[in-house]
Amino acid sequence: MAEGWCDSIRLVYITLFFPGRNKLHLLEFLEMRIKGQRLGYRFAFLLCLAFAVTSLRAEVRVLRGFTLIDGTGAAAAADSAIIIDAGRIKWVGPVSALKVPSGAQVVDLKGRFVIPGIIDLHGHLGLTSGMTLDTKSYSRQTVEHDLKTYAEYGVTTMLSLGLDGDAVFAVRDQQRASRPTMTRVYTAGQGFVYKDGIGGGISFPGISTPVFSTVADVEPAVAEQARKHVDVIKFWTDDNLGKAKRMPFDIDKAIIDSAHRHGVRVVAHVYYLEDAKKLADYGIDGLAHIVRDKPVDQELIDSMKRHNTWQIASTLSREVSLFIYAKTPDFVTDPFFTRGVSADVIKTLNSPEYQKKSASDPNLEKYREALAMGKRNLKALADGGVKYGMGTDTGVPGRFQGYFEHLELQEMVEAGLTPMQAIVAATSSGAEFLKAKDLGTLRAGKWADLVVLAKNPLDDIRNTHTIQAVYIAGNQVYTKETSNDTNK
């Protein structure tokens, strides 16, 4: 019986507090030693209990001496401190007011900068191996692999938009019942496409996708995704520069209305101003790409504000990926990039054959024009008071998870936003859209999802590359000291 109690304590401890592997190995060693010496089970139980209690105390961590950028848009606060207890922020304030709890682990971060974990509102999971689309290998293992990659780049939460299999739900639900050690995932499950359109299994063969021909197809598909408790519904309406057909407006509206009846919010892949206006008027909750064909106008801005339609993602880095590989991109030699990809990826990006193929795309100049238009439109929406987050469309070949989130921040600043605006978009605004009240800012009571930087991102947004450590729910999921990253 005592053995069962000891196992129960260990199980509860691991489930709630996720200690390091070394602690688990130590506990197993102690149990073996006790059994080997034929000590009483009662003593074994007490030792396990004492170990668990001691470990719980060690879960209190104090970070101190850093400059705090808390995600709210408030001015940076020098010489700050945070107390983390069981994965949550118990206290945050100036070092001068800090009272270090007895037995706490203290981490000196003098000269460092701390921001909330980055939130990407448009990504994809489990589909890509190197530079190859590999939908047949989608599994819980590939999903978790990608979530770990995001985490190592300080992306602590992501919204996976419309290309997921059912494996993602088990990952998500386990995370929400515990303290994750990889990036938190939200999901749209399976997105919806028009029979003559793009997206989903049409654009990515092998992905299971509901395909609509008429309004009658909508309700059963929406009900099925709602039954799975998706976080949002996604659909695609785009013609791929005239190569396909956009989803008819009556189907667009039926999706939005049905999802809202089921209590689920809706986001859409868009390209054209006309579509964005219609969708905003129908009450869509978010646009998953920026308008790229024309300048946004006051009519769209007013409609988005009136219907609380978010620009959840501008995906400017997506537009970059459509033309940048026509020659060797500068980031191919950036250690911050190379630490997250394989040697085969580097070889491909340097390959003259690959570059020649990329350069042969007849729409190359249109992609550059779309990026320029997207930047102007993001600035206009932000200035107009439309709510916006940060999103990338990472997770398909050539859009690299982790690195492209930082590229997106850079593109947002180049569009005219301040570094603070970009950081807020990628932290508290992302959490607001997700209705994740425990995320997005570094305030008391929130989960301790945070990134430690060596340099000030408010001076230069590219300083988000200087990651020293990443924490998710108080768990240190990345530290530069144990990585191959040479970026300073």
Q: Are 121 and 431 in contact (CB under 8 A)?
A: no
Q: How many whole angstroms separate alpha carbon 288 and alpha carbon 390?
A: 10
Q: The tokens of 193 are what?
A: 């496409």
- The 10 Å CB-count burial string (b at 16+, else e) for 66-92 is bbbbbbeeeebeeebbbbbbebbbbbb
Q: What is the pLDDT of residue 44?
A: 46
Q: What is the pLDDT along the chain (488 residues), one digit of tens a residue?
A: 444 444 444 444 444 444 433 343 433 434 444 344 444 444 444 444 444 444 444 589 999 999 999 999 999 999 999 999 999 999 999 999 999 999 999 999 999 999 999 999 999 999 999 999 999 999 999 999 999 999 999 999 999 999 999 999 999 999 999 999 999 999 999 999 999 999 999 999 999 999 999 999 999 999 999 999 999 999 999 999 999 999 999 999 999 999 999 999 999 999 999 999 999 999 999 999 999 999 999 999 999 999 999 999 999 999 999 999 999 999 999 999 999 999 999 999 999 999 999 999 999 999 999 999 999 999 999 999 999 999 999 999 999 999 999 999 999 999 999 999 999 999 999 999 999 999 999 999 999 999 999 999 999 999 999 999 999 999 999 999 765 544 33
State the CB neighbour count (10 A cutoff) for residue 347. Answer: 12
Q: What is the pLDDT of residue 59?
A: 85
Determine the Cα angle at 134 with ends 291 and 143, to 5°. 80
Q: What is the pLDDT of residue 55?
A: 43
Q: What is the pLDDT of residue 52?
A: 45
Q: How many whole angstroms separate alpha carbon 91 and alpha carbon 87?
A: 12
Largest Cα–Cα distance in the chain? Answer: 79
Three-state SS sequence of 310-346: EECCCCHHHHHHCCHHHCCCHHHHCHHHHCCCCHHHH
User: What 3-state DSSP class applies to 447?
Assistant: strand
Q: Following CA atoms 181, 185, 189, 191 in sequence, which dihedral angle do they give, to the nearest 10 degrees? A: -140
CATH architecture of 118-434: Alpha-Beta Barrel (3.20)
Residue 247's identity, in one-letter code, is: M
Instruction: Break the chain into its structural domains and give their ranges.
Output: 2-56, 61-116+445-472, 118-434
Enumerate residues 6+ apart whose C-beta is below 8 A from 69.
76, 113, 114, 115, 420, 423, 457, 458
Q: The tokens of 476 are what?
A: 């240190």
Output the CATH code of domain 61-116+445-472.
2.30.40.10
| E-assigned strand segments in 16-112 | 61-68, 77-85, 88-94, 105-108
Q: What is the pLDDT of residue 12?
A: 43
Q: What does the chain come to in residues?
A: 488
Q: How many whole angstroms separate alpha carbon 406 and alpha carbon 174?
A: 28
